[in-house]
Amino acid sequence: MEGKILFRKYETERLLGEGTFGKVYKARSLETGETVAIKVINKELVNKLSMEKQIKREISTMSLLKHPNIVEIKEVMASKTHIYLVMEYLGGGDLYTSILQQGKLNENLARKYFHQLIRAVDFCHSRGVCHRDLKLENILLDNNKETLKLCDFGLATLPGQEQGKADGLLCTPCGAFAYMAPEIIRGDKYDGKKADIWSCGVILYSLVAGFPPFQDENRMRMLWKIRIAKYEFPPWFSREIKQLIGKILVSVPWERITMEGIIDSPWFRRHEYERDHNPFEPSLSSNSVEVGLPCFSSVSFNAFDFILSMASGLDLSGLFGTQKGKLSSTFVSKCPMMEVTKAVERMAERLKLLVRGGKGSKRLVLVEEKVGRKGRLVVGVSVFEVAPEVNVVEFSRWAGDSVEYMKLMEEEVRPAVEGVAWKWQGDWVHGRGSEVGSGTCHGICFCI
């Protein structure tokens, strides 16, 4: 296949890997010059093994899931003998090979990868998809080994598949033994999301230990260890990571930690890591926006200086660790923090927005029930105390259409929080606000 022109669109280069149904090649788009990966699937072999449904499932699932930490499928082509899946190319190899080459990771790097893994799996679950084959080999890295992406959705469940049964549970055993949840080993019906969470725990353990938690030369003994969740921690594991893994690798599925619990765990949210890396963007089921947003201190930043910065129209996103290019809106309030958070909660209730986060929390995620042009609109809300008399509230779009976000903010959110909002960022610059201290605001500034 090396050097072959496919459909006058792609030129294949070298072989990247080989699977059950075919091979994966590095290729180049003749039109744009973009480097891609092309999975070449042998139709005859697929028909012989009666795996048509699995191939269709992989194509359908990857087309459904558009996310920064999931490999993108760009195009599907076919000839009489082969199916060609054109996918995003990642040059860093898979995590399994990376661990083999460099050994165990330090906890900060493991946390960075685990953040991205949870982000991807949580997104899948929010779309009704369970991966069911999570393992180090199915996690790819980019050239700089900074970003990871999930791949291989051949065993995934699509919304309405199998879960359509009365109890909503799955019954088909899936995945590699080392990552398989105890309930699947036991032959029980299982919740696909709970099984995925177990696999994430095995992956986290393997990243920090350099080896899997249930390794054993005897296959039956290894399966017995998985069934009863028997494993030990190496001495270099921190107390917080032991606590988190101990809540994930629980043999009874309904006692296993939820995705929201993982996101809210101390190890996952440790601020030493958050200060040095990009923030975690919660998906629909995320319970808090606090991950990735370091606490703001008023010690080195006077409240008066802050108000002047707001008035100047400066982009304040750097103060809060938010990402450049993220659509956000910020206002200042002179009300107590509890009053501000309650006002946001009342606003969400009135607008029929789903709220993720505890009552009175300084970090909330608001989710629209209806599905928009680009999926559900997800808005993060963070309240920062910059001085005893001044609180700053930041709204930011985590997912969904930008136009729908701006319409929601301008037409719904701003009027709903008018009672606690003193000034919005940019009001003075555009001449749309009233005098300082008037308690009203009429404009909005979007830092794009």
Among 94, 122, 133, 264, the one annotated catalytic: 133
Number of Cβ within a 10 Å radius of residue 414: 20
d(CA 113, CA 204): 9
Q: Tell whether 30 is covered by a domain.
A: yes
Least confident of 119-128, 201-210, 304-313: 304-313
Of the ranges 29-43, 98-112, 149-163, which one carries the lowest mean pLDDT score?
A: 149-163
24 and 102: one domain?
A: no
Question: In what helix (H) or strand (E) does residue 443 lie, and over which residues does it extend?
Answer: none
Query: Which of 42, 64, 88 is where one domain is finished?
Result: 88
**Is residue 383 in some structural domain?**
yes
Same domain, residue pair 58 and 119: no
What is the C-alpha to C-alpha distance for residues 357 and 364, in angstroms, rounded to an integer? 5
User: Hunting for tokens 């199915």 — which residue is that?
Assistant: 138
CA 129 from centroid of its chain's CA atoms: 14
Same domain for 163 and 259: yes
Residue 382 tokens, joined: 């963070």
Grade residue 246 by pLDDT with cuts at 50, 70 and 90: very high
120 lies in the same domain as 77: no
- Give me the CATH number covering residue 18: 3.30.200.20
Least confident of 153-157, 223-227, 285-289: 285-289
Q: Contact, 260 vs 219, CB < 8 A?
A: no
Q: Is residue 244 domain-shared with residue 374, that is, in the same domain?
A: no
The CATH number given to whatever domain includes residue 240 is 1.10.510.10
Q: Are residues 43 and 191 in the same domain?
A: no
Radius of gyration of the chain (CA): 24
Domain count for the chain: 3
Q: Which two tokens stand for residue 116?
A: 């991205």
Segments forming the whole domain that contains residue 113 = 95-274
Residues 69 and 111 in one domain: no
191 catalytic? Reply is no
Entry pTM = 0.61
Distance between CA 27 and CA 84 in Å, rounded? 12
Asked whether residue 381 is assigned to any structural domain, the reply reads yes
- What's the pLDDT tens digit per position in 397-408? 888 877 888 888
Residue-wise pLDDT tens digits, 359-389: 556 778 888 877 777 778 888 888 877 666 6
Q: Do 251 and 318 share a domain, yes or no?
A: no
Mark whether 163 and 81 lie in a shared domain. no
